[in-house]
Amino acid sequence: VFVCVLVEERAEGLGVGDVDAAMDPTVAEAITVGGMEKVLSAMSEVGAKRICFTDSIGSFGAEAPRENATAKWLTENPQQDPGSDYGRQKRGCRELMDQFRREHGGDPRFAVLPGVLHSNPVWGNGTTEYALDALLAAPHQETKLGLPTGEAYVCPIDPDIAMPMVFVDDLMRGLIALQEAEPHELTEPENGYCIPGLSFTPNELFAEIRKHHPGFGFRVELDENMNKFANLWPETLNSSEPLRDLGYAPEVGLSEMVSFVLQAHEDRNSYTAEAFKAMDKDGDGILTLKDIEGHVRKRLVRGRTTSYNTGQGAMELVMNQLMSELDTNKDGLISWGTFSEWYRNNSVEQVVKRIQASSLSAP
């Protein structure tokens, strides 16, 4: 029996942990370290031995090597200052796992993750996620969908600073390899391994984006916190240990990653544009409450079984919910930019279904 503890990588202006929790170290400590204590206690009660925990480049501080950083360095330098509460909480989890090994014969492993790259529509506010923001912005700077273009991308870190990243497909292969390895195959201290991928600077990323979107524009406006961590963390992770013990080596490079992620965003934008244009009857690139209500009445709220679910009461519930989510400045107008951002993780259809489900469950 084994347990995998995958802590979502996004944080405190880091690229890694929950932003709201990181703003309150007490809450973050309770979630991260307190959560690990509970997991290990439950494992000891049922006799589970193996646990795989995701650590982060946020654990490395100013003393860490800039090139070819290793998980071993973290175990050999337990008192180094990672420069953030987030990094100290990760260290606390490693210490608890090592205690679990000594006192309960556990089989803990940990993986040090760089920034995670993917084609999903949403992510957090971490430092490494500047790359995902840039990849999302690029398709919005062209007019091929017949809708208003977005502004230049604002880069929050030094464009010549390299940071380690990994594409999600490589990440999962590395984590599975670490989880499934036999104990005798793991030779690193505390069974800790970095999961390397690719490293690049913002300028290198932007050059690759321009191969697909030649007009991609950006400007640099440094975020003090994000830029601090970009300069603090290693630029590359060592690949020899995971290759030797896990048989893992990254396969996705910068060109392939950029092409794949851009295509996913472009496909999603096309779908979103169809939804927007279906409501924007006059084609001015702006939605009004009337536009959205007409769409909902015509296409979504019809053919139901009761007047309660299709009548004016239900329509008001749907429209109030949609406008509360879309019309954030309360001017009654929804731009293409606002709609496309909202549509990354929502849809009009989903809101209607939520209201209908709530109506049906009401006494």
- Tens digit of pLDDT for each residue in 26-85? 888 899 999 999 999 999 999 999 999 999 999 999 999 999 999 999 999 999 999 999
User: Is the pLDDT score of 179 beyond 70?
Assistant: yes
User: Is the pLDDT score of 19 beyond 60?
Assistant: no
CB atoms near residue 276 (< 10 Å)? 21
Q: Specify the pLDDT at position 333.
A: 93
Write the DSSP string, 67-89. SSB-HHHHHH-TT---SSHHHHH
Question: Partners of 152 in the beta sheet?
Answer: none
Q: How confident is the model at residue 18 (pLDDT cuts 50, 70, 90)?
A: very low
Bridge-based pairing of strands 286-288 and 333-335 is antiparallel
Query: To the nearest whole percent, how much of the chain has pLDDT over 70?
Result: 87
Helices (H), 212-304: 224-232, 240-246, 254-279, 289-295
What gap in Å lies between CA 21 and CA 27, rounded to an integer? 6
Q: How far apart are the first and last CA of the chain?
A: 44
Q: Specify the pLDDT at position 293.
A: 86
For residue 6, report the phi and psi dihedrals to the nearest 5 degrees.
-105, 105
What gap in Å lies between CA 56 and CA 54, rounded to an integer? 7
The pair of structure tokens assigned to 159 is 């464009």
User: What global pTM score does this model have?
Assistant: 0.84
Kind and range of the H or E element at 190?
none
User: Is the pLDDT score of 269 beyond 90?
Assistant: no
Of 122-126, 267-271, 359-363, least confident by mean pLDDT is: 359-363
